[in-house]
Amino acid sequence: MSAPRWDVEGRDWPNRAHSRFVDVGRIRWHVQVMGEGPVVLLLHGTGAATHSWRDVAPRLAQHFTVVAPDLPGHGFTTGRPSRGLSMVSMALALAELIAALDMSPRLIVGHSAGAAIALRMVGDGLATPSALIGLNAAVLPFPGLAARIFPTLAKLLFVNPFAPTIFSRIARTPGEVGRFLPRATGSRIDAAGVDYYARLFATSGHCSGAITMMAEWDLPSLKALLPTVSVPVLLLHGAKDAAIPPSDAEAAAKLMPDAEARLLPDLGHLAHEEQPEMVAALIADFARTHGLCA
């Protein structure tokens, strides 16, 4: 099974000068660190990597110390937690990473499944940020019949050893990925962003990580945990998200003691890649509101 190679797929990776590799337990993390100030932890979603923060991270680095890792099974991070790629296991692994870096985040920003991991970290007491932001957060179970179909489909793909290779062969060109992303996300991103996704999707190792993560995802238990998340939470959600209903943001916000939801007109699931300047400004404004930066 092929994994993304730092000297090939990562040859001109965004913000490459800020990349480092950190060994913690069974995992060799690819993580980008930049800027000075309060620590902000950026967590990407399923199937993505640090490239998804390529234009947001440098803007935030003007006010914060930004820490952005590739999640286990994704991008250039190699090795996996002993308990697999479940939400709980990923949260534990990230807690070990930030401890090894000696960088306790004051703010955690998660996109899609990354928001679910962030909430799990806070709910399980693995991180104690002053605030949390979810971008197009994937935190509520699929409604109705889909609640059974999608997890089952992911598990069927997981047990098929040929599935990652099949997916990687389908996604070998930016053209194929460029047609897939707008349909799946409701977002139109620049050609460079499409190319980064194409590089990752063309490797069976990255596809395997995404499929395994979906197969082990447990959103019902996260939903039950949300009322215990007492830190201020802002849920930003693209109004044209084709992957997660925008109504989920409002529903999730109502389950937490101190949360608000805000729709971003004309943006899709990859809102932070479509309008990075606006999203970075919203993150900074929320941080200022809660006394995290001047």
Measure the CA angle with vertex 48, ends 218 and 228; round to 5°: 35
Mean pLDDT to the nearest integer, 124-128: 97
> What torsion, rounded to 10 degrees, do the Cα atoms 21, 24, 25, 26 define?
-30
68-122: pLDDT as tens digits: 999 999 999 999 998 888 999 999 999 999 999 999 999 999 999 999 999 999 9
Top-confidence residue, 254 or 149: 254
In the CATH scheme, what is the code of domain 16-144+219-289? Answer: 3.40.50.1820
User: Does the pLDDT value for residue 156 go beyond 80?
Assistant: no
Q: Around Cβ 267, how many Cβ atoms within 10 Å? A: 24
The mean pLDDT of the chain is 89
User: Does the pLDDT value for residue 130 go beyond 60?
Assistant: yes
Q: What pLDDT is attached to residue 144?
A: 44
Percent of residues, the chain, with pLDDT higher than 70:
88
68-83: pLDDT as tens digits: 999 999 999 999 998 8
Q: What pLDDT is attached to residue 143?
A: 54
The domain locations on the chain are 16-144+219-289
Top-confidence residue, 163 or 271: 271
Mean pLDDT to the nearest integer, 208-237: 92
2-48: pLDDT as tens digits: 889 999 999 999 999 999 999 999 999 999 999 999 999 999 999 99
Q: What pLDDT is attached to residue 1?
A: 60
Distance CA 167, CA 131 (A): 37
Q: What pLDDT is attached to residue 173?
A: 55
Give SS3 for 182: helix
**Secondary structure (DSSP) of 154-179:** HHHHHH-TTHHHHHHHHT-SHHHHHH
User: Does the pLDDT value for residue 168 go beyond 50?
Assistant: no
Q: What pLDDT is attached to residue 274?
A: 98
